[in-house]
Structure 1
Amino acid sequence: MSGEPRPGLHSERTRLAWVRTAVTMAGAGIGAAGISVRQDLVALAVPFAAAALAGAVLLLRTGTRHRRLERALRQRRPLDDRLDTGVAWAGALAVAAAALVMVLTLAL
């Protein structure tokens, strides 16, 4: 066992939660963009593609974020995750707005 204290498994659970969020956002964005193109709602493919891109960015940043989290926990200081949180919110809002417009458009 290493000499450094382990803060626990919560950082691993947090990392896995971010991975699930990123993969879901990327997959849902790609799928919804495809559906919107097939339904001749090409303009809606843009926000869905933006959500897919946000998910891909979050997935790429997972390793860096995990290392920063581990370091912050060992040093007992807060982690500044505003960038990742902003990317996740932007992707989620893009999906929500585009899905609402898609549902309203297809319902009429």
Structure 2
Amino acid sequence: MSDVPRPGLHSERTRLAWVRTAVTMAGSGMVMAGLAVRHDLPGLAAPFAAAALAGAVLLLRTGIRHRRLERALRYGHPLDHRLDGRTVWAGALAVAAAALVLVLMLAV
């Protein structure tokens, strides 16, 4: 155990939430890209693949972000999550747009 007191487990809960978000985005993006290709809609595979890539990037950055968060909590430094927030936003937007187009194309 560390000699430095910790304010609580909120950083661990936050890290786990980011991991769940990243895994969900990566996994659902890969599944939907595969479905788009199987339904002969390769143009829709690209946005779903972009969402999967965004999830993979977030998953890789989770460890780095957690270490920075722990350091910020210990030493009182501010922490910037803008890049990760933008990555999640771009991945979620890609999924939403591609899912809408996919549903509209399958309904016709």
Judge same fold: TM > 0.5, yes or no.
Answer: yes
How big is each residue's C-alpha offset from its partner over 1:62-104, in whole Å with a ceiling of 9 and x where there is no partner? 1100011111112223310111111111100000000000001
Deviations 1:4-56 (A, max 9, x none): 11121000000000000000000000000000001111000000000000000
Aligned residue type for 1:19: V
d(CA) in 2 for partners of 1:68, 1:7: 15
1:61 to partner: Cα distance: 0.6
TM-score, normalised on structure 2? Answer: 0.95
Q: Percent identity?
A: 78
Q: Distance in 1 between matches of 2:43 and 2:2?
A: 54
State the 4+ residue runs in structure 1 displaced beyond 6 angstroms: none
After TM superposition, the structure 1 = structure 2 runs for residues 50-69 of structure 1, keeping only pairs within 5 Å, are 50-69=50-69
User: What TM-score do the two structures reach when normalised by structure 1?
Assistant: 0.95
Q: Aligned letter for 2:85?
A: T
Aligned to 1:89: 89
Superposed CA RMSD: 0.9
1:74 alignment counterpart = 74
The residue that corresponds to 1:29 in the other structure is: 29
Report the residue type matching 2:81 in the other structure.
D
Aligned partners of 1:91 and 1:54: how far apart in 2?
A: 5
Equivalent residue, structure 1, for 2:41: 41
> 1: distance between equivalents of 2:102 and 2:78?
40
